[in-house]
Amino acid sequence: MLSDAMLEPFQLPFVQRALLELLLLAVAAGTLGCWIVLRGLAFPAHGAAAAAFPGLVLADGLGFAATLGGFGAALLFALAVGRLAVRGDEADPREDTLTALVLVAALATGIVLASDVFHAAASVESLLFGSLLAIGPGDVRLAAAAALVALAATRLLGTRWLATGFDARSARALGVRSAIPDTLLLVLVALVAVATLTAVGALLATALLVVPAATTRLISDRIASWQLATVALAAVEGTFGIWLAVELNAPPGATIAVVAGAVFALVALMPRTQAVAA
């Protein structure tokens, strides 16, 4: 049957593991992605993922856990530069420039470290664009942890993130303390960005972190339904992307990114009675 033939790639153990990884990342990135889009953190989230790249190379070269190195670098970036973007009406215009500078510096440093210091140029491609079909159990555990933390943080801190983003100055006047919740949001961005790296790589992390949430934002008018739709869309795009990558023998991370981008374009071009944009 045609359907059996279509499902054949999912019989392969490494594809099944990749699918599990992507479904967990859909929960983590789908939930957090809505806060990233709503709070204007798309570029800093991209920067955090890129900043993780030299951290991964350095950790790998020095012989300690690559994930730890990546998370440390992403966290450093998120807290140093991302905090400029998270302050709502006090957003610092330097944030965009700083993000761009750090992004370039991180990529350049990572490539120099990988090729000239640690002679690990072969792994650069997988660090930048992911290696979804070659992930290990540790990657799946990290994705599961990221999903749990993203869900818990949304439940506990969501109303505060919402109030601060809605009107930061009024939130302060209301007595809403935003410093700790906003810092935790940045920590979470770094954590989920690092969790996505093995799947889609430092350069394509926004395919999971931002693009699905930006797509469903076009058709959602409440946080809860938006997050549910984003998780579902990220899961569908990921599943279809893996299948397509196996069928076409294409890189899975890049294929998922292309699928996500195409879906965004389709939804954006759909006629709507009233446009909703973040």
Partner 1 sequence: MSALVAADGLAVGYGPSLPVLTGVTFELDRGERIAVLGPNGGGKTTLFRALLGELRPAAGALRASARCASVPQTERSRLDFPVSALDVVLMGTIPTRPWWRRPSRADRAAARSALARVALADLAERTYGELSGGQRQRVLIARALVQQAAVLLLDEPFTGLDATSAARLEELLRELAVEGHGVLIATHDLEHARRWDRVLCVNGRQVAFGEPSSTLTHDVLAATYGGAIVTLPGEDPAAPHHAILPPHHHEH
Residues that bind partner 1 (CB under 8 A): 38, 89, 155-157, 159-160, 162-163, 165-167, 169-177, 181, 217, 220-223, 226, 276-278
Position 114, amino acid: A
Cβ 148 to partner 1 shortest distance, Å = 16
Cβ 94 to partner 1 shortest distance, Å = 21
- Closer to partner 1 by CB, 97 or 170: give it: 170
Cβ 159 to partner 1 shortest distance, Å = 6
- Closer to partner 1 by CB, 6 or 224: give it: 224
- Closer to partner 1 by CB, 109 or 220: give it: 220
The string over 82-92, giving b where at least 16 C-beta atoms fall within 10 Å of a residue's C-beta and e elsewhere, is bbbbbbbeeee
Cβ 34 to partner 1 shortest distance, Å = 9
- Closer to partner 1 by CB, 134 or 174: give it: 174
- Closer to partner 1 by CB, 124 or 157: give it: 157
Long-range contacts of 141-144, Cβ-Cβ distance < 8 Å, separation of 24 or more:
142/67, 142/194, 142/195, 143/21, 143/24, 143/25, 143/28, 143/195, 143/199, 144/24
- Closer to partner 1 by CB, 176 or 232: give it: 176
- Closer to partner 1 by CB, 62 or 156: give it: 156
- Closer to partner 1 by CB, 126 or 183: give it: 183
Cβ 92 to partner 1 shortest distance, Å = 18
Residues in CB range of 49: below 8 A, 6 or more apart:
74, 193, 194, 196, 197, 202, 203, 205, 206, 209
User: For residue 72, with 0-12 CB atoms within 10 Å meaning exposed, 13-18 middle and 19 or more buried, which class applies?
Assistant: middle
Cβ 170 to partner 1 shortest distance, Å = 5
Cβ 260 to partner 1 shortest distance, Å = 21
Cβ 166 to partner 1 shortest distance, Å = 5
For 22, how many CA atoms within 13 A lie in the half-sphere containing its CB? 32
